[in-house]
Amino acid sequence: MQRNREFGADLVRVVATFFIIGVHFFLYSDFYSVSQEEILFVLAGFVRWITFACVPLFLVLTGYLKGKAKWTPQYYRSLVPILVTWLLMSVIGIAFSIGYLHVEHTFGEWLVELFEYRASKYAWYIELYIVLFLLAPFLNEVFRGQQNKSFHKGLLVTFFVVTILPSITNFYSVGDERLRILPDYMVLLWPITYYYVGCYIAMYKPNPKKRNCIAVAVVAALCQSVVTYIHSSGDSFDDLLKAGYADLFTFVITIAVFLMLYSVNTKKTKVRQVVTHISKRSLHIYLVSSIFDMLIWNDGAGMAVFDEYWWKFPVKCMGVFIAALLTSEITYPISQAIAKLVLQLVSKEKSK
């Protein structure tokens, strides 16, 4: 089983997990509120925009790995470990909220927190993933319904125009009114755009030079950082495009990073083992990292002084990662055991 795993896919998942922790560094520091007067904030913004590609990387990877999935009743079995992980980490999140944060809710209020995907602070991604998972076989039928590269390019370009391109065509204003040059009614379909990019990469295996991918990602992140810095005009962080994950620069960074990583391979057994080990636990690390973000940032130290970013970023991010990884060593086998039990019970019920 382990031999069949793609090292590049595991590497993408590990990097995306690091990016999650990295971008949350900026969320929990005072980066977004402090006045960005020093030109060196361009470098801080550069790191922020690179790590902001975290969620899109997971979505491209989903398309890459599930692009061949077909609808069968058995297809839904692979969602069970995800749901079990979400429930387990939500219970841990609730326990943390009660025991450490002293949050007082009724049982009904905790149920609302659970099914609003807030019991575990970062569980909103699970809600997104569930929907994408349910749609995947049908999205695949559209993509693979025609074995035609021109059709696939047309599909990607259409989704790009509908969901990503409005980020740079529709931020202009005339007076108090925003100028909508392109229809942006379907911008919220951006997860499907990233999914289809993954499908396309899985089918055609583009392999641009790694240095070109690095250059594109660096230039895109630097451009976005400079634009943000200028637009902030010495005030607090102000994203000019305000398009979130549908931002053109984020899209370019995501694709460049994915293309750089997905084809990487190595024969070094130890490296493969470490990357695979972390990759398998990535969802646990992602979800439980919210707890350690709050614990590690509870020292009350903001970063009004720019120089503090450079030593606090690696130290605090590595602290969160190590703590979350160690916790996953406990939660991962538990969730796997529960998921296996659930699937066995379902199989027994069907065989009756």
Question: How many C-alpha atoms does 106 have within 13 Å on its Cβ side?
Answer: 2
238-243: average pLDDT: 84
At residue 142, the pLDDT reads: 95
pLDDT averaged over the chain?
91
d(CA 2, CA 10): 11
292, 23 in Cβ contact below 8 A?
no
Tell me, what DSSP letter sits at residue 76?
G
pLDDT digits 0-9 by tens, 156-199: 999 999 999 999 998 877 777 778 889 889 999 999 999 999 99
- Pairing relationship of beta strands 173-174 and 177-178 according to DSSP bridges: antiparallel
Share of the chain above pLDDT 70, in %: 95
Give the predicted TM-score (pTM) of the model.
0.94
pLDDT of residue 21: 96
Q: What is the mean pLDDT of residues 65-94?
A: 95
pLDDT at 93 over 90: yes
| pLDDT score of 325 | 97
pLDDT at 352: 62
How far is 78 from 336, CA to CA, in rounded Å? 12
Segment 315-344, tens digit of pLDDT: 889 999 999 999 999 999 999 999 999 999
Q: Is 292's pLDDT higher than 90?
A: yes
pLDDT score at 304? 54
Phi/psi of residue 241, nearest 5 degrees = -80, -35
Of 305 and 28, the structure prediction assigns the larger pLDDT to: 28
Instruction: Tell me the helices (H) and strands (E) count for the chain, helix number first.
Output: 14, 2
SS3 173: strand
User: Which residues are CB-neighbours of 348 under 8 A, at least 6 positions away?
Assistant: none
